[in-house]
Every structure is written in structure tokens, then in C-alpha cells.
């Protein structure tokens, strides 16, 4: 049985009780949880399974080595309902993957569904890569959304998502030098801040349900980021730790849902100029690798359907996302 499947309500309640980083005695915790002090000890040890460092001091009790900033799901649901209309919001302390949750969900006609988690046990990035998902350190969110026009209407969606997230972050922290690397990465000064993963949940009656996954580094330690194989940064480092996680999630989701409503009707074309504002690739010499070829050239912006325009020795070519990997040389 997986760690995720053995997470009980009492474990979740214990995490919430210790989230502020203050000491709680075993007897206090046992009284709230309705269990013995011995049972509290057993449950406390399990927090290590989720990457939560626990301190135990005789005479004081238990506390988390670092307080954690849990999302306020009730606030988010009310905020989004007022800002963009009714949404189905699903919040978990721990899940395998918010994108997987969205893909498995039953679609409610005409209503977007939002999936949030504090920790992912099997978070995924593009091309099947593992996405580092430590507990309450970053942002893991997915939206399942119906797009009119079927698969043909999806060109440029990952770029539009990047624009929406970048707009949200700069509205929260004006001057944040966030940029976009075609087709899926958010960068600050060349270091990766986040990424986008688009998946398809199925086509029906002239529409396709897309799952838009976004991961953003919030506040990570070097040990939590040990599995990342590229330069990275996080919001805490870039903003001085000023942004509460719930506020970040609210603004990002607000911008994403508004963008998806516009994208469903108009596609990516109206957002090209906004993308150009954040484009970190244009004018640079790049190498683009796909399954069967490697192309080098100078990036010349993007087209109205999200293709990368690449000036090569053989002329101008237009390349699409999918399994393509881009490196700035």
C-alpha cells in the first residue's frame, strides 16, 4: 500500500496542528486527535515520509523544524467564484499528481475544475520527467477546462498559459523579471521558476477537455531541490519571501481561468504581443531537438498558433511543441 493511501484524516489534522512551527505537547495533540500519546508519536514519525522535518524535545513536545504556509482552500473557492464565476475546487494535502487527478475527474459540463495539493508523490513535468514537489514548499495546481473547437483549437495553449502565469506574478510583485522560454518554462534571470504541462482529457461534442498543469517554485531548500538538473530559483528568493502561498495561488488561478475563457473563443493570436513581452528566446541562437532531427538557428519569435519561428541556414522554419526540446546556446 502506498504512503499516499495510508494517509489518514488524523495525519492530515496533525500536519495542520503543527503547521505554525510551535511546540505542542503529546498530551495536547492526543486530546485534539482523540488518540493516545503513543499513537501521537507514531503519527508524528510518519511526517518524515512527506519530507516534513519534525523536532521532538522532552518537556516541550513536537514541532515542525520550519513552519509551513498551507493553502486556504475555502478562501480560494470563494475568491474564484467572485472573480471568475463558479468553479469546482478540489484540495488535497497530498496526492500523486494534480494533473492525474484532473484527468481522472468526471467533467461537469460548462464548469472548470481546479485541483490543488500541498505535496505530490508522483509529480510530472514535460516528457515524463519527475517534478520536485516537496510539502507546502511550491505550487502544484491543475485546471480541467473545456475548449471549443476540438484539438485543432489548441495551438499555442502552453504559451498562453505561460503569459497568464507571468502576468499574475508581475501583478503580485511588479518588477519581477519573469520571462518565458518556448514552449513551457518560466524563468527569472535564466533560472527556472516554473513549468507548464498540458494534457488532453478527451474530445466530445465539438469541444476538448484540456488539463492545464502549472508548477511554481515557492520556497525550496537546496536539499529539497537536489533532484533538479538545471539552474533554478523560487519566489521567496526573488521577492524577499513576501508572497503568501494562498495569495499567489489565487492570482495565478484567476489569470489562468480568465485566459482560458478568452482562449476558448479566440485562440492564441490575440496574446502574441503579450508573449513577445516575456519572450526570453527571440533573437538568440538556439538548438531545437525533436525525436528525429536537431535544428540550429536564430529564434525569430512565435506565430499566431504558437509555433517557434526559427531562422536556419535552410530558411525560416516553424516548429511546434510536442516532444521538442530547446536549448539556448
Residues annotated as catalytic (active site), given as ranges: 126, 192, 327
**Which residues, in sequence order, are CB contacts of 33 under 8 Å at separation 6+?**
10, 13, 14, 17, 39, 40, 43
CB 194 within 8 A of CB 220: no
Written as one string, the DSSP assignment of 149-204 is T-GGGGTTHHHHHHHHHHHHHHHHSTT--EEEETTTEEEETTEEEEEEEEEEEEEE
Of 288, 291, 292, residue with least CA distance to 307: 288
- State how far the alpha carbon of 51 is from the alpha carbons of 145, 264, 328, in Å: 32, 39, 34
- Residue 250 C-alpha cell reads as 489565487
Longest dimension (CA), the chain: 74
Q: What is the DSSP string of 8-41?
A: -HHHHHHHHHHTT---B-HHHHHHHHTS-HHHHH
Sign (positive or negative) of CA dihedral 228, 239, 138, 11: positive
Q: What does the alpha-carbon distance between residue 270 and residue 262 come to, in Å, rounded to a whole number?
A: 9
Q: How many CA atoms lie within 13 A of 50 on its CB side?
A: 29
d(CA 212, CA 252): 12
Instruction: Tell me which residue of 274, 249, 244 sits closest to 259, measured CA to CA.
Output: 274
The three cell numbers of residue 142 are 491543475
* Neighbouring C-beta atoms of residue 313, cutoff 10 Å: 7
Amino acid at each position: 500500500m502506498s504512503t499516499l493511501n495510508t494517509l489518514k484524516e488524523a495525519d492530515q489534522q496533525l500536519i495542520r496542528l503543527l503547521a505554525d512551527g510551535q511546540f505542542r505537547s503529546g498530551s495536547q495533540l492526543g486530546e485534539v486527535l482523540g488518540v493516545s500519546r503513543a499513537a501521537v508519536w507514531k503519527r508524528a514519525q510518519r511526517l518524515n515520509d512527506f519530507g516534513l522535518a519534525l523536532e521532538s524535545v522532552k518537556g516541550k513536545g513536537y514541532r515542525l523544524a520550519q513552519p509551513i504556509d498551507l493553502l486556504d482552500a475555502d478562501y480560494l473557492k470563494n475568491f474564484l467564484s467572485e472573480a471568475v464565476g463558479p468553479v469546482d475546487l478540489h484540495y488535497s494535502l497530498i496526492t500523486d499528481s494534480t494533473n492525474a487527478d484532473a484527468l481522472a475527474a468526471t467533467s461537469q459540463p460548462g464548469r472548470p475544475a481546479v485541483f490543488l495539493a500541498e505535496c505530490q508523490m508522483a509529480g510530472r513535468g514535460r516528457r515524463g520527467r519527475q517534478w520536485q514537489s516537496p510539502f507546502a514548499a511550491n505550487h502544484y495546481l491543475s485546471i480541467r477546462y473545456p475548449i471549443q473547437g476540438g484539438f485543432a483549437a489548441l495551438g499555442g495553449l502552453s504559451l498562453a498559459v505561460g503569459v497568464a502565469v507571468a502576468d499574475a506574478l508581475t501583478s503580485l510583485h511588479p518588477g519581477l523579471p519573469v520571462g518565458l522560454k518556448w514552449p513551457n518554462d518560466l524563468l527569472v534571470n535564466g533560472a527556472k521558476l516554473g513549468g507548464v504541462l498540458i494534457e488532453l482529457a478527451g474530445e466530445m461534442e465539438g469541444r476538448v477537455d484540456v488539463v492545464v498543469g502549472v508548477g511554481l517554485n515557492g520556497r525550496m531548500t537546496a536539499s529539497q531541490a537536489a533532484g533538479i538538473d538545471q539552474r533554478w530559483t523560487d519566489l521567496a528568493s526573488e521577492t524577499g519571501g513576501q508572497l503568501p502561498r494562498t495569495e499567489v495561488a489565487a492570482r495565478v488561478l484567476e489569470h489562468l481561468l480568465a485566459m482560458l475563457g478568452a482562449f476558448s473563443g479566440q485562440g492564441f493570436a490575440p496574446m502574441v504581443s503579450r508573449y513577445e513581452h516575456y519572450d526570453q528566446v527571440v533573437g538568440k541562437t538556439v538548438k531545437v531537438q525533436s525525436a528525429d532531427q536537431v535544428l540550429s538557428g536564430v529564434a525569430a519569435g512565435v506565430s499566431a498558433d504558437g509555433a517557434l519561428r526559427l531562422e536556419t541556414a535552410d530558411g525560416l522554419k516553424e516548429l511546434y511543441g510536442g516532444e521538442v526540446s530547446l536549448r539556448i546556446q
